[in-house]
């Protein structure tokens, strides 16, 4: 960042630390031990889709990659009312490491394709015996946390 940028208040976006996603499995174990919340095997990546062939090619490649292999549940893609796209992955509840690896692949593909600023967050879902939901968040631009719903 140059002197003029600092003077005018312009800042460079902080690059994401995508490897921090690999801390989620151990955090999930801590959550299980401290509470009754257990992983559901569902996780998602939220991003703002852009127009153009480059982005649609990356999105198609990610879907193809995540749908490869035997006994894979197809990846779901949906849009919310705010214009964000949610890519939802499903694994067995005891395969949280595999789920995090898939979610990391999505984040890395978007980042390597130059679409890192479009990433919003990565979420892992949990439920307790009473079927209450909690979501472990890995936010790209903000602080991480847990949201109980």
Domain boundaries of the chain, sorted by first residue: 38-148
Residue 89, SS3 per DSSP = strand
The sign of the CA dihedral 127, 130, 132, 137 is negative
Structure tokens, 96: 């949280």
Convert 105-131 to b/e letters by CB count within 10 Å (16 or more is b): bbbbbbbebebbbbbbbbbbbbbeeee
DSSP 19: G
A 10 A CB-CB count for 50 gives 15
For 95-98, the CB contacts below 8 A with 24+ separation are: 95/41, 96/24, 96/25, 96/28, 96/39, 96/41, 96/124, 97/25
Give the global pTM: 0.77
On the question of pLDDT at 136 being above 80, the answer is: no
Query: Domain 38-148 falls in which CATH fold?
Result: Alpha-Beta Plaits (3.30.70)
Over the stretch 138-147, which tens digit does the pLDDT of each residue have? 666 544 444 4
Over the stretch 13-50, which tens digit does the pLDDT of each residue have? 556 666 777 888 888 888 888 888 889 999 999 988 88
More confident site: 125 or 115: 125
Please, are residues 59 and 75 in contact by the beta-carbon 8 Å criterion? no
pLDDT at 88: 92
Give start and end residues of each alpha helix (H) in the chain: 3-8, 24-34, 53-66, 96-112
pLDDT at 107: 87
């Amino acid at each position: 960042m140059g002197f003029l940028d600092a003077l005018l208040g312009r800042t460079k976006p902080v690059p994401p630390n995508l490897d921090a996603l690999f801390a989620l499995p151990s955090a999930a174990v801590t959550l299980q031990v401290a509470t009754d919340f257990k992983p559901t095997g569902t996780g998602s990546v939220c991003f703002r889709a852009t127009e153009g062939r480059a982005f649609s090619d990356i999105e198609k490649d990610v879907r193809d990659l995540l749908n490869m292999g035997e006994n894979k549940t197809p990846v779901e893609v949906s849009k919310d009312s705010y214009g964000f796209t949610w890519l939802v992955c499903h694994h067995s509840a005891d395969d949280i490491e595999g789920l995090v690896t898939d979610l990391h692949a999505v984040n890395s593909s978007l980042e390597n394709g130059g679409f890192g600023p479009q990433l919003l967050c990565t979420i892992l879902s949990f439920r307790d015996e009473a079927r209450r939901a909690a979501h472990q968040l890995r936010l790209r631009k903000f602080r991480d946390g847990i949201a109980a719903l």
